[in-house]
Amino acid sequence: MHEEDLLFSGLKVLDVGSWIAGPVSATILADFGADVIKVEIPGSGDPYRGLAIAPGTPDAEINYTWVQDARNKRSITLNLKTETGKTILRQLAQDCDVYVTNHPLHMRRDLGLTYDDIKTINPNVIYASLTAYGENGPERDREGFDLVAYWARSGLMDLVRSPGSPPAQSLPGMGDHPTAVALYAAIVTALLRRERTGKGSMVHTSLIANGVWSASCIASAVFAKGDFSNYPSVAARHFTRELYETSDNRFLQFTMVRSDEEIEAFFHVLEASYLLEDPRFNSRRARIESGGALARELRPLLRSHNADHWISVFNRASVPVSMVGTLADLAEDPQLKINNIIKPPEEDVGTQWVINHPINVDGLPVRGVKKAPDIGEHTKEILHDLGYPDNEIEKLRTEGAI
């Protein structure tokens, strides 16, 4: 495969952001062939470089989050607190197709890097903006991570818990990564519009918008004046919504057990068809109203064997069953490899597999995973492309502009 065969070959993208949601939209563009220049702070770089070595994250010999999310980019360091640093960024912006940023809005105004500023020097640019709480309103300048804006503020944190339990925390990046896909979708939509009309534009999304969207199957009931007084309720929960522990401390999920035939087969496998004769459980409505009581009857039965046994016998009986996965399971899961959910890197990046983004287009070539850049690894190369000679580059370095 040649670089020119890639869909976005020749597309110039500036990644002027940090952490995950904004920059990962540029990573997806890079995978499809775009030339992505990541702008970082001199010395320290993107703070996201430090996540994998932070307390509470798994220890590894490589910076695995950076390897995954910063692949296929070039890095330049610019001190945007200096006029020279801002001048160089504007020079890069003059010739870019896509400008991605999640800098706080007040910072963009202070630095003169808003959409209005950038479109003045590049009217055809696609300016992709990621915020925590949206472009407008009293909280537009408020900063926030996905744990706060996507997970807590949207209601997801409160919804995903058992009754009587405190709200559950999210994983790092759990809202950032799907939000990055939303921003990528907005960018690609704007690129198609530009191709048809010649017009650049600003596109944007926010962490809170994606959080509310993720919660929308339940959250939409709020706007329909739904009654939440019994939601969620253990007493009104169908037994298939419960989790059941096996003898080897794994959990089984039966959410997809829905038809009468599947229900009957489920109880037959457990040798518990007698429960369907109990007045508390002898109809669908009764099983819903007495869901908690039925689950208590089933738990000791499912705890009598290990997970592999139950998966085998339920599969033979055509009863939909799923084991609650653990991270340890992923390494041996054949579905991940055969469906390109993980893929091997094209060069040595310190790991055998890298998690892929979830966008697939059959027949469309993608760039192999290449090493994520060191801090400012390509500063000199990029400045040469802008016409800066070596002596001027060294002067900029001495002055602290790069």
Q: What's 254's domain CATH number?
A: 3.30.1540.10
Share of the chain above pLDDT 90, in %: 89
Region 256-267: mean pLDDT is: 95
Q: Does a structural domain hold residue 337?
A: no
Q: Does a structural domain hold residue 359?
A: no
C-alpha count within 13 angstroms, C-beta hemisphere, residue 327: 3
Q: Does a structural domain hold residue 360?
A: no
Residue 32 pLDDT exceeds 90: yes
Q: Does a structural domain hold residue 351?
A: no
Residue 144 pLDDT exceeds 80: yes
Q: What distance in Å separates the CA atoms of residue 368 and residue 346, rounded to the nearest whole number?
A: 5
Question: Tokens 């340890």 appear where?
Answer: 328
- The overall average pLDDT reported for the chain is 94
Indicate if 24 and 89 belong to the same structural domain.
yes
Residue 43 pLDDT exceeds 50: yes
The pTM of the whole model exceeds 0.85: yes
The pLDDT score that the predictor gives to residue 235 is 47
**Residue 152 DSSP one-character state:** I
Among 304, 327, 350, the domain boundary falls at 327
Indicate if 64 and 104 belong to the same structural domain.
yes
Q: Does a structural domain hold residue 352?
A: no
**What is the residue type of 303?**
R
Region 52-68: mean pLDDT is: 93
Q: Does a structural domain hold residue 266?
A: yes
Residue 237 pLDDT exceeds 80: no
Among 293, 327, 361, the domain boundary falls at 327
Q: Does a structural domain hold residue 130?
A: yes
Indicate if 185 and 70 belong to the same structural domain.
yes
Closest C-alpha to 38, from 20, 53, 54:
20
Each residue's pLDDT tens digit, 320-329: 999 999 999 9
Cα end-to-end distance, the chain, whole Å: 35
Indicate if 282 and 181 belong to the same structural domain.
no
Indicate if 239 and 319 belong to the same structural domain.
yes
> Domain with 91 in it: what CATH number?
3.40.50.10540
Indicate if 45 and 84 belong to the same structural domain.
yes
Q: Does a structural domain hold residue 228?
A: no
Indicate if 55 and 188 belong to the same structural domain.
yes
Q: Which of 55-64, 118-127, 223-232, 272-281 has the lowest mean pLDDT?
A: 223-232
3-state percent helix, strand, coil for the chain, nearest multiple of 5: 45, 10, 45
The pLDDT score that the predictor gives to residue 193 is 98
**Helix (H), strand (E) at residue 202:** strand 201-206
Indicate if 257 and 209 belong to the same structural domain.
no
Beta strands in 264-370 (DSSP E): 322-323, 342-343, 354-355
The pLDDT score that the predictor gives to residue 198 is 96
Residue 236 — pLDDT band, cuts 50, 70, 90? low
Indicate if 52 and 149 belong to the same structural domain.
yes
Residue 394 pLDDT exceeds 50: yes
Q: Is the previous residue joined to 232 through a cis bond, with omega within 30 degrees of 0?
A: yes
The angle subtended at Cα 357 by Cα 67 and Cα 41, nearest 5°, is 40
Question: Tokens 């801090």 appear where?
Answer: 375
The pLDDT score that the predictor gives to residue 170 is 92
Residue 164 — pLDDT band, cuts 50, 70, 90? confident
Indicate if 58 and 148 belong to the same structural domain.
yes
Q: What distance in Å separates the CA atoms of residue 95 and residue 357, rounded to the nearest whole number?
A: 27
Region 373-401: mean pLDDT is: 96
Among 296, 327, 358, the domain boundary falls at 327
Indicate if 206 and 249 belong to the same structural domain.
no
**Helix (H), strand (E) at residue 205:** strand 201-206
Range(s) of the domain holding residue 116 = 3-216+372-399
Each residue's pLDDT tens digit, 202-235: 999 999 999 999 999 999 999 999 988 877 654 4
Q: Which of 141-145, 210-214, 225-229, 246-250 has the lowest mean pLDDT?
A: 225-229
The pLDDT score that the predictor gives to residue 143 is 93
Indicate if 200 and 264 belong to the same structural domain.
no
The pLDDT score that the predictor gives to residue 137 is 97
Tell me how many domains the chain contains.
2
